[in-house]
Amino acid sequence: MAGLFQNIFGGAGPSGAAKSDDDFADFSSPSVAAGSVPAGSATAAGGVPYTAWYRVWERVGPRDFMQEAFILPCIILLLLFYSWGTRKNKSKAKSWAVAHAPVLASEFAIVGFGGVPKSSVEGVASELSEPEKLLKEKSKQEYQLYATGRQNVAFLDVSIKLVKRYNPIIFLMDNALGLFTDSFPPPVERVESTLYTFDGKEKDIVPTPTGDASSLKVPNSTYDGFIWAVVHKNAMRRLRQDRYDASMTFTKDNAKLPNWVTVMTESAEITDFLLTPQLIKAIEEAGDDFEYLIITDQPVDKPLKIEDATPKKRIQLSLRLPSNGYESTLPLYSLFTRLPDTLVSGAHFRPEVGRKLRNAREEEIRKLRRAEEEEKAEERKYAAEKLKKEERERTLRGMTAEEQKRYLEREKEKEQRKMMKKSTRRA
């Protein structure tokens, strides 16, 4: 007992050496007794031995990096595929801009997003080495081009839509599914160009140096509003499904056109005016790269309100990106840029045709008005029912239990009488 108390109060030394963890001492102890160092182990100047715990190369082998050996090559492949896909898409967009810049420069004063007018075709061609001045990257698969400064045209908006080459999984799946099922058609690269015409609104759109729009001297650029399209039959179904304005037309083949193309129109007189030999020849040269050419004054999406049905006249051309140059589609694109002049000069139809076009649009307005009136009537009915319900709840809260019971009984009898009257009328 005496020895125990001595140990507790420090009177005696330890009875024996404390048992230590040799592994812990090997890498954490500041000094190790010379006798505890195994034979053949190197010792640092401070007395700490270099055991296997310090020698990483002795306790780590290639098998410890098997997971990284699989992941790292996949990451490198994804990065290489992404780099190749983005470069390829940018190159295809640039090649389209290079091929069509002379046509656009000959028709528009400003081509691209620089906002600086070009005095000649050569002025635009000199900037083709810097395509960012012509194109704007909306995403890695879509590029845009803009042009303005032309009589009868407010501006041209071009969208170059490419496939997702930068994403190997989506790219391979899109192409593989298209081979095995018709529900997933293979992706198509296309260029959608839209000309927005002035239609007599130059004074509202074009800025003047003096700020006085009334001083702007322009010829009359108005023309009758209508919907007319030439469509490749492979694209006709998609056009009818995706566009509200196309649903307002009827489809009719034309003997002057190839059998793989059809016309969507509101009047045969419009077709006779627009289907010129030059247009027919340009469509034949474009071949399967041609999808549709549509002239419209109605929205693409079905309007839900009357203000959404305001006429906005425009011309849209959709072409597939050819794989072997643009010589086949350039004549059609050049003709497309000059179509506004044709409309302004001759798209003024007989009163009978104009009346038919106006009646079709007024009927659509009447449908929207009826839908809005029905919606407002439904809202009024709901508000009246809600007010009636709140009034009933306030009345019931102010009654005693007996009064509430009599009130509910009278309400029930009244409902039964209504049901009886309804059944009598039906009989």
Q: What is the pLDDT of residues 6-31, one digit of tens each?
A: 444 444 444 444 444 454 444 444 44
Please give the pLDDT value at position 51: 58
- Compute the distance between CA of residue 220 and CA of residue 202 in angstroms, rounded to an integer: 9
DSSP of 28-39: H-S---GGGSPT
**pTM of the predicted model as reported, rounded to 2 decimal places:** 0.74
Let me know the angle formed at the C-alpha of 322 by 316 and 130, rounded to the nearest 5 degrees: 80
Residue 41 pLDDT level (bands cut at 50, 70, 90): very low
Summarize pLDDT for 354-375 with one digit per residue, the tens.
999 999 999 999 999 998 899 8
Dihedral sign for Cα atoms in the order 325, 328, 331, 336: negative
Residue with tokens 């780099």: 83
In this prediction, residues 232-238 reach a mean pLDDT of 91
In this prediction, residues 245-256 reach a mean pLDDT of 92
What are the sequence ranges of the domains in the chain? 87-355
Please give the pLDDT value at position 398: 85
- Compute the distance between CA of residue 14 and CA of residue 49 in angstroms, rounded to an integer: 28
Residue 317 pLDDT level (bands cut at 50, 70, 90): very high
Query: How much of the chain, in percent, has pLDDT values that exceed 90?
Result: 44
Residue 204 pLDDT level (bands cut at 50, 70, 90): confident
Tokens representing 282 are: 């340009």
Please give the pLDDT value at position 227: 95
- Strand ranges (DSSP E) for 298-374? 314-320
Summarize pLDDT for 95-151 with one digit per residue, the tens.
999 899 889 989 998 888 866 565 545 555 555 556 567 889 999 999 999 999 899
- Compute the distance between CA of residue 312 and CA of residue 121 in angstroms, rounded to an integer: 30
Residue of 399 and 3 predicted with greater confidence: 399
Query: How much of the chain, in percent, has pLDDT values that exceed 70?
Result: 79
CB under 8 A, 24+ apart: contacts of 197-205: 197/152, 197/153, 197/154, 197/221, 197/223, 197/313, 197/314, 197/315, 197/340, 197/343, 197/344, 198/152, 198/153, 198/154, 199/223, 199/313, 201/154, 205/154
Residue 232 pLDDT level (bands cut at 50, 70, 90): very high
Q: Cβ-count burial of 266 within 10 angstroms (0-12 exposed, 13-18 middle, 19+ buried)?
A: middle
| Range scoring the smallest mean pLDDT among 48-62, 145-159, 318-332, 364-378 | 48-62
Residue of 242 and 184 predicted with greater confidence: 242
Please give the pLDDT value at position 394: 87
* Cα–Cα nearest to 111, from 90, 96, 97: 97
- Compute the distance between CA of residue 7 and CA of residue 284 in angstroms, rounded to an integer: 110
Residue with tokens 């597939």: 320
| Range scoring the smallest mean pLDDT among 11-15, 159-163, 280-284, 367-371 | 11-15
Please give the pLDDT value at position 64: 77
